Amino acid sequence: MINILTGRRPSFTVLFSIFLAAFFGCLTISASAGNLPRPETPAGAAPVIVRGEVGTLIGIERGTVRMGGTALRPLQVIGGFSVTVPAARLAALRSLPGVLSVTPDGSVQLHSAYDPASDSYSMLNTSAGLGAAAAWSQGITGAGVDVAVLDSGVTPVAGLSAPGKVINGPDLSFDSQSPAVAHLDGFGHGTFMAGLIAGKDPGADPSNPGADYLGIAPDARIVNVKVGAASGAVDVSQIIAGIDWVVQHRHDNGLNIRVLNLSLGTNSSQGYRSDPLAFAAEFAWHSGIVVVAAAGNDGSGSGTLNDPAYDPYLLAVGASGNSAALSSIATAFIPSFSSFGDGTRNPDLVAPGIHMQGLRVPGSFIDQNYPAAAFGGRFFRGSGTSEAAAITSGAVALLLQQNPRLTPDQVKSDLKQSAVPLPNANAQARGAGLLEVLGGAIAGAVKGIPGGTGLVSSEDGASSSPWQLFMPSLGNGSLDKARGDDRVSMGGVALNGERDIFGAAFQSGAMAWAEAGQRSWSGGVWNGTTWSGTTWSGTTWSGTTWSGTTWSGTTWSGTTWSGAAWNGTTWSGTTWSGTTWSGTTWSGTTWSDGIWAGGSWE
């Protein structure tokens, strides 16, 4: 999960650290490396980029240095490094154990040619390796299924720009009162996830994909529920509010939200049975929505999955190597960043989550801070359980198109039963095995519905029954404990205690009761405060203190988050009334689909 800019925790905010489940996993990269001037290359020397298998890079780097390699720079986002080596040693370098590729390191043009067929980690090869492409050939493309992506927003870059492809839900982020950025993805994470799930290039034919970019469920729709700001800042209260909105409005005006992708999470300090975030996600599950949650990017160190993935009802997904890059199941591996369970609650399965090909948002936070991850002009590399969760959400959409009568428990059962076992991987990290779309899940759904094809296992996988029987979450615990270690802050003052982003008291028991009755949202009001649909000007921060420091007198217009000013727009003078959205209504407010004011993203 993330801890998004790993290794550096800015003081200004939580950086979707509420783990936006790790865009870069536990990988680090020097943001300035791509801007350094390239030294002169001596005659007879060859500047190259070397990519290696996970776990082998240190050995490859040492071998390269012994060969006379110089000017070595890590490029861990792409799983490799750049180096200058004697041209005569290139063959020896390519023969080092674990080396995947050695390619010339020259000047890169933004719109350079990219061949997905030659890239083991491309979506073309990922889809083929998982069986999704075979499902497409049968007409199973996710059509008719809506996937809610609760993330940092979605920008309509190519692949997500078709009319009706992305439907805007509420913008509950700190960007929401600036029309120029509302719903858009200034961070870059949400667009990446949406592309993995349901991206589709204009004119692309899933039955004959070729070089076009296609997500796992290319004909599914994305419902964009933005909670993360351009800086990545987000609070647990925003995430809970977003989940509640999805539950209450899953069938509004032709919507058919059957999947909720949560490529985020926290290291909550309380169990799932009392945790309010886990309760909200679990209630979505019981309401007929398959909740796919990233397991986390803490490796074996934490001994637990992140919140809400640690709730045993949900579909918790860890990361694996890309199935298209495997020579055999015996060589399958779990990357070191993918979180382990505790032996009782482990990931349910794993899915590709390293070096993934996602859609790039030019100028976004991650685009500016990780320039080496951009390639092919419009694509971006990312690794983490975020990506694995998104891939799985696409697979769920395929399964639900094939048989819409499946319950969340049956979907989870089918996917676990059809997963490819990974006997050489750690049991606490691998779950039931590697996601396989057609090999069992789709085929099984044809044979065995409505009863489902498999049996949902208990938490430890030791027994099975036709439905899940776990102790339910009560949601009566602490909102502050649900935040874990990371939280939003302003002026060095963190948001602590049992209060939401408006400073309104949060009573978890009362909120759980309202959620259970699908009453937590009413007319744009959540937890007693108007979050959307009207103006925030009537809500003042004065008199509300966070940790003894008042917010009064502080305007958002003068505040910068991660060095990026909020477009000079104050929250209190901007209204949402009169803003048109698209033909979809919610609580009497008109929504819109295709207006992205001020967003020049091409």
Task: Dump pLDDT digits (tens) for 501-549.
Answer: 999 999 999 999 999 999 999 989 999 999 864 333 222 222 232 322 2
DSSP output for 252-310? GGG--EEEEEE---B--SS-TTT-HHHHHHHHHHHTT-EEEEE--S-TTTS-SPPBTTT
* Number of helices (H), then strands (E), in the chain: 14, 27
Q: Which helix (H) or strand (E) holds 352?
A: strand 349-352
Instruction: Report the Cα–Cα distance between both ends of the chain, in Å, rounded.
Output: 28
**What is the reported pLDDT for 331?**
62
3-state secondary structure 174-232: CCCCCCCCCCCCCCCHHHHHHHHHHCECCCCCCCCCCCCCECCCCCCEEEEEECCCCCC
Torsion sign over Cα 294, 297, 299, 305: negative
CB 543 within 8 A of CB 504: no
d(CA 471, CA 427): 23
d(CA 245, CA 237): 12
**The listed CATH number (2.40.160, 3.40.50, 3.30.70, 3.30.110) that belongs to domain 36-104:** 3.30.70
Annotated catalytic residue, options 183, 189, 249, 355: 189
**What is the reported pLDDT for 253?**
86
Residue-range domain boundaries for the chain: 36-104, 121-404+467-602
Q: Which helix (H) or strand (E) holds 429?
A: helix 427-430
d(CA 587, CA 565): 32
d(CA 261, CA 92): 44
For the CA atoms of 12, 16, 18, 20, what is the dihedral angle to 10 degrees?
-160
Nearest 5°: the CA angle 549, 554, 558 is 135
**What is the reported pLDDT for 73?**
80
Q: Can you read off the two tokens belonging to residue 501? A: 């982003």
CB 446 within 8 A of CB 402: yes
Which ranges of 508-555 does DSSP label H, i.e. alpha helix?
508-516
d(CA 190, CA 204): 22
**What is the reported pLDDT for 166?**
97
Peptide bond into 312 cis (omega under 30): no
Identify whether 287 is a catalytic site residue. Answer: no
DSSP class of 441: I
Q: What residues contact residue 409 under an 8 Å CB cut-off, 6+ apart?
A: 452, 456, 466, 467, 468
In which region does residue 586 sit, left (phi positive, over 0), alpha (psi from -120 to 50) or beta (all else)? beta
What is the CATH T-level fold of the domain 121-404+467-602, as seen in this structure?
A: Rossmann fold (3.40.50)
Closest residue by Cα to residue 25 from 60, 74, 76, 72: 76
User: What pTM did the predictor assign?
Assistant: 0.73
**What is the reported pLDDT for 170?**
95
Q: What residues contact residue 52 under an 8 Å CB cut-off, 6+ apart?
A: 60, 79, 80, 98, 99, 100
Domains 36-104 and 121-404+467-602 alike in fold: no
**What is the reported pLDDT for 445?**
44
**What is the reported pLDDT for 326?**
57
Report the length, in residues, of the chain: 602
Closest residue by Cα to residue 354 from 601, 57, 149, 96: 57
Identify whether 251 is a catalytic site residue. Answer: no
Q: Can you read off the two tokens belonging to residue 147? A: 């996937």
Annotated catalytic residue, options 119, 146, 151, 593: 151
Annotated catalytic residue, options 386, 508, 520, 562: 386
Identify whether 189 is a catalytic site residue. Answer: yes
Peptide bond into 352 cis (omega under 30): no
Name the stretches of the chain with pLDDT < 70: 1-43, 54, 75-79, 105-112, 323-331, 438-466, 532-602
Q: How many CA atoms lie within 13 A of 370 on its CB side?
A: 29
